[in-house]
Amino acid sequence: VKLMHVEVETTQMWPGQKVESEVLSLASSLGFVAVARGDHPIQRDVILVNRDWYADDRTRIHAVLRLASWQGPALSRIMAWSNIGR
């Protein structure tokens, strides 16, 4: 896995739920780094990428993220066009 999109909450909404800080800690222990996140105060999306891939291709990953922030839901089309992750 090179890229993950997860939806997390910053506060517990139901008993036993893992919150953002716990999810990010687990992701880090599994070799992932957060490269983008939404700004909603309670529930947000987080984009995580494989740490090794990020180290090898940081410039291109950030370029695609910048494009995606301008184009919103076009992220998957941009990634397919640029061959990222292949």
Residue 75's pLDDT is 60
Q: Model confidence over 4-18: pLDDT tens digits?
A: 999 999 999 999 999
* Confidence tier at 77 by pLDDT (50, 70, 90): low
Is the distance from CB of 31 to CB of 38 less than 8 angstroms?
A: no
Q: Model confidence over 21-76: pLDDT tens digits?
A: 999 999 999 999 999 998 899 999 999 999 999 999 999 999 988 877 766 655 66
From 13, 37, 11, select the one nearest 22 (Cα to Cα).
Answer: 11
The full length of the chain comes to 86
Residue 86's pLDDT is 55
Residue 5 dihedral angles phi and psi, to the nearest 5°: -115, 120
Residue 65's pLDDT is 85
The pair of structure tokens assigned to 60 is: 């291109």
